[in-house]
Each structure stands twice: as structure tokens, then as C-alpha cells.
Amino acid sequence: MNATELMHTARGMVAKGRGILAADESTSTIKKRFDGIQLESTEEARRTYREMLFTAPAAAESISGVILYDETIRQKTKDGTPFPLYLMKQGIIPGIKVDTGAKPLAGFNGETITEGLDGLRERLVEYRKLGALFAKWRAVIDIGQDIPTHYAIKANAGALARYAALCQENGIVPIVEPEVLMDGAHSIERCEEVTNLTLSTVFRELYEARVLLEGIVLKPNMVISGKKAAHRAGPEVVAEATLRTLKRHVPPAVPGIAFLSGGQSSQEATLHLALMNRIGKPLPWALTFSYGRALQDDALKAWGGKAANFGAGQKAFAKRARLNGLAADGSYNAEMESQAA
């Protein structure tokens, strides 16, 4: 493990005013997205869509890294340049999703465990050769009646720690993603309670696994009301609760926190990030974004799968990336949405 290289990459991933594009949708997930624009999900359609995002003019000003999928890391631009090499030339760090998904946790109804540790060491060696400098593993914690259990949280935290240690052994920065889902009708107070327990457990497991905290990036959920809650907390309350939780459990050694959007609307995710950066200063770590849908939805709709709309899709993506870049340094405000249009 080269600690200096890991720390350099991790700091680059959370550079000021820049964040991470999560373009690691599985084939089944991107098919659902393409169904929404009535486009058949072929390999070439997926390649074209990813190229539209990666080659958007000025994207590198706001995007520090891109999480790729196994198929995507092996694909090339239209002129034959491998995606990882193209991104590196733009100053964007290529990464790779390495987990194989959340599966039912035996004996624990309604809870899951993320799989993918078998053979991971060998896969990381290959991905490093393909150009990946960081990786991502997502653990899923659901809130419902009598869940999550402490066992489910501990099992997922343990898997995250084992994954992180294997990544660092192979010179790859691990994104540690423990996601407390915002599905359901739970209150923001319940989300805060579960997120506190989850982060506390994750960092205990990382410490015991001897993971270098200076060489990771945390990708947590925001502390937010469930989608179906009768009364959902406002943006300022979300920002305050999230900051309170992070300050309790995330060591200052961690260089940065890149939030997932977790089902928030594009504007909601941007506003919450901006508020945290505005009211939280000074903070021991950088606060930025690692969004998928919240960065891509506008671009996907503008493109619509039509070659004639390629440029329109790029403009929509560049706008969303720029607004989130502004949110990452606290200078975004809602009026910019109409101005940017």
C-alpha cells in the first residue's frame, strides 16, 4: 500500500468545487432509465450515453471523478480512446463499482447484505490495470418496523471494511458507502438515529481492519425524512441534522465526504449540499457530491436517445454539474436554476 498515492487520489476526488459523477448503473438499472425515454438498452446506446456525459464541454471544471460499471470501464469513445484514459486526460479520476449488489440477509426478513468479496482481490488487480484509481461499494440499510437490526448494520459494516482494506492493498481508494435509505414513512429523527448507529459501526470496523482513513472517501446518505413521511423536514433542518451526525462520527482524518442523492430531486440534493457548506464552516473534511440520478436526469431527458439532441444533453449535464460544483463551496442558491437555464 502506497499511503502517499492513496491520500493524493482521495484529496483529488474531493477537490474544492468539484464532485463525483456516479455512472455505475447496472445493465438492469440503466434499462429502466432508458425505458423512461423509450430507448432500447443496447450496448452501443449505453456507450453513447456515457460518452455524452464524459465528453460534455467544461464538465471537468465541476467533476473530479467518475464511477464506472464493469461494461463501461472497457468501452471507448467514438474515436477509440478507452473511457478511463479519456477521463484522465481531462483531469477526471476514473473509478469502478465492485460490489455485486445487495442480497437478502439470511434469517433477517427485510434486510440485505452486499455481496462481492469473493474474488475481489483479483478483480481489483484487473481494474487497476484498466485505469481505475478508486472503487465503490454500497451497503444498504433500510428503515422499517423492527429494522434495521444491529446484526445487519454490523454485517454490512464489516463487509465495507474488508472491501476497503483490499482496495488500499491494491493502490485503489475505496469509496465507503453506507446508505440509510429514504424509502418509507419514517421521520427525520428516526433517520438520524439509524445513521448515527450506522456510521459509528462503520468507522469501528474500518479501524479494526486497519484501513487508512486518510485514503478513503465517505459516501453517506443525508439525514432526511422518509419519502412517504406525512411531514417532511425542511432543507435547513436536513442540513443541520446531517452536519450534527457527521461531526459525531466521522474522524477529521477522512479527507472528504461525497453525498449520495438517494432519491432526492436534482434541485433538492443541490440545495441541501449548499446549505451544509454554508452553515457548517469550518469543517474538518470537504463536503461534496457523488450523485447519479441527481446529475443525470436532466441530461437523459434532454438527449432522449436522439443523435440530434447529443449537444442538448451535454448542456443539461454541464449545467447540473456546475450548480453542484457551486453547492460544494456553498455559493449556490435556488435563483441560479433559472439563471443557468
Q: For residues 117-137, b (16+ Cβ closer than 10 Å) or e, as one string? A: beebeebbeebbebbbbbbbb
Q: Which residue of the set 136, 219, 315, 319 is catalytic?
A: 219
Under a CB-based contact definition with an 8 Å cutoff, are residues 96 and 47 in contact? no
Burial (CB < 10 A; 0-12, 13-18, 19+), residue 206, is buried
Q: Name the catalytic one among 25, 51, 111, 177.
A: 177
User: In degrees, to the nearest 5, what angle opens at C-alpha 72 toward C-alphas 67 and 74?
Assistant: 120
Query: For this structure, is 177 an active site residue?
Result: yes
**Helices within the chain (DSSP H only):** 3-13, 27-35, 43-54, 70-73, 83-89, 120-130, 150-169, 188-208, 235-249, 266-279, 293-303, 310-327, 336-340
- ∠ CA 257-196-296, rounded to 5°: 40
Distance CA 46, CA 144 (A): 35
Is residue 192 annotated as part of the catalytic site, yes or no?
Answer: no
CB 258 within 8 A of CB 175: yes
Q: Are the beta carbons of 20 and 66 closer than 8 angstroms?
A: yes
Q: What is 87-119 written as a DSSP string?
A: HHHTT-EEEEE----EEE-TT-TT-EEE---TT
- Determine the Cα–Cα distance for residues 322 and 14; give it in Å rounded to an integer: 15
Positions annotated as catalytic residues are 177, 219
